[in-house]
Amino acid sequence: MSERGEPLYKTRPVAPAPARFGWCTRVNDFVSMSEGNSNTYLIETSEGSILINTGMGFEAPVHHSNYNELAGKIDGTLKYVITTQGHVDHVGGVQYFRDRNPGLQYIAHANNVEHQAYDKRLTRFRQARSAFRFADIFPKTFKEYAEAGYKDLNPQDAPTADISFEDRHAFTLGGVEVELIGQMGAETNDSLIVWLPEHRIVFTGNLFGCPFGHFPNLVTIRGDRYRDALVCAQAAQTVLDLEPEMILYGHHEPVVGAELIQREVAAIRDAIHHVHDEVVKGMNDGKDLETLQQEIRVPPECEVGEGYGTVVWSIRAIWENYAGWFKHQSTTELYAVPQSDVHADLLELAGADALIERAAKKAESGEREAALHLLDIVLSADADSEGARALAIEVHQSLLEDARTFRTTGNFWLEGWLEKKIELLGGGKAVSLGSILK
């Protein structure tokens, strides 16, 4: 192991989860935390309180209950709500807290309006793309809520800020100095961080991705804008330059200690720079994308986790962010007919049995991705092929075993995808996330 010591990501959880009653804690004598799909934080002062992030709409009453438990009745005490980004798990509960706090002012980055419009434009698309990961989690959560007496779920808000800014905005409440720093593009194009300079505390939201200490998810497999690697690295540098003693992150417990924070955030920054620079070098050297995905690794001295995104996925994101969708590999890339349109022809020529047999040999030799390519040919032309489905389940289960132990922590999205594919291949039905949230 390098002089850095054991990377922090190995001792922190990865998976996010919806807010729960009682799932809250005091960080110190004036800050409380209520965990959820994204953490919310309550800053108490002698002149009122500040709420950072509000969760999804259905989570807001849970966060409200949790803060009432920790800080006493908060209705009428909130002066400001700040969202660190415009994602639905940050802005969804703003109106709920507005209704209980007359005069409350909502502060967001100037790009918040555009980001919310972008999210709204693709609501059905995103819900469909996210369903494989959350369609099982949310019903269980709603059942727990109902058992606790919370049955009529609070609706999702799409709030408009009362105060917005681009680069920096500062104010003081009850003697607590608050600085807001725009960090556009690191997670969303309206990302910001909240800095308490006197206390050396920084609230980052999901600035480096969902779990702390991992390679940022430069493009999510549920579908989103590409995030520029250099912008993400600069966000890490912004935090380093503040020299904080505590990071209150978007998920899970605080990161505490100036020296630890410098080491861990520097590792994130350096890992991003390394991967970015190697991709650019490879592109200029004429290497294809798949070669770079197989070759590039993060050095031990800046080891980070891959619990939400992966380096392989990020290599593709960096490549396509620079070069777009055309890989210069086939003329067919320039036209509208997909490769799957000739799968039936291949099946007719080769025969299903021959393709399944070859796929089995590939799987036995450890070439599981190649096996899936062959099985995709069979299943796209004959979705009911029992032999292909059985072998595909076996290959997916093997990949899932690896995914659950990937880089110590597993990978949240990869595990969810493989689990759902196994279920569907076994005859399960796809579930709409939109119908669950209604």
Residue with tokens 């290959």: 395
**pLDDT of 423 above 70:** yes
Single pTM value for the model? 0.94
Is 11 buried (19+), middle (13-18) or exposed (0-12) by CB count in 10 A? Answer: exposed
User: Confidence class of residue 2 from pLDDT cuts 50, 70 and 90?
Assistant: very low
**pLDDT of 428 above 90:** no
Going by the DSSP 8-state scheme, the letter that residue 136 receives in this structure is: T
Q: CA-to-CA distance for 276 and 173, rounded, in angstroms? A: 41
User: What's the average model confidence in pLDDT over 243-247?
Assistant: 98
At 429 the pLDDT is 80
Closest to 66 (Cα-Cα) out of 107, 105, 26: 26
Going by the DSSP 8-state scheme, the letter that residue 157 receives in this structure is: P
User: What's the average model confidence in pLDDT over 30-53?
Assistant: 97
Closest to 2 (Cα-Cα) out of 266, 243, 247: 266
**pLDDT of 98 above 70:** yes
Is 105 buried (19+), middle (13-18) or exposed (0-12) by CB count in 10 A? Answer: middle
For the CA atoms of 83, 85, 87, 90, what is the dihedral angle to 10 degrees? -20
Tens of pLDDT, residue by residue over 342-369, are: 999 999 999 999 999 999 999 999 999 9
Q: CA-to-CA distance for 257 and 252, rounded, in angstroms? A: 16
Tens of pLDDT, residue by residue over 298-328, are: 999 999 999 999 999 999 999 999 999 999 9
Angle formed at CA 66 by CA 63 and CA 68, multiple of 5 degrees: 110
Computed over every residue of the chain, the mean pLDDT equals 95
At 432 the pLDDT is 65
Going by the DSSP 8-state scheme, the letter that residue 207 receives in this structure is: B
Tens of pLDDT, residue by residue over 371-392, are: 999 999 999 999 999 999 999 9
Q: Which helix (H) or strand (E) holds 40?
A: strand 40-45
**pLDDT of 197 above 70:** yes
At 1 the pLDDT is 33
At 430 the pLDDT is 74
At 406 the pLDDT is 87
Q: Coil, strand or helix: which one is 21?
A: coil
> 331-437: what fold?
1.25.40
Pull the structure tokens for residue 175.
């003697």
Give DSSP secondary structure letters for 236-273. Answer: HHHHHHH--SEEEESSSS-EE-HHHHHHHHHHHHHHHH
E runs forming strands in 316-427: none
Cβ-based neighbour number of residue 417 at 10 Å: 19
User: Confidence class of residue 114 from pLDDT cuts 50, 70 and 90?
Assistant: very high
Place domain 17-171 in its CATH homologous superfamily. Ribonuclease Z/Hydroxyacylglutathione hydrolase-like (3.60.15.10)
Sequence ranges of the domains in the chain: 17-171, 331-437
Tens of pLDDT, residue by residue over 155-187, are: 999 999 999 999 999 999 999 999 999 999 999
**pLDDT of 435 above 70:** no
Packing angle, helices 343-350 and 352-364, rounded to 10 = 90
**pLDDT of 433 above 90:** no
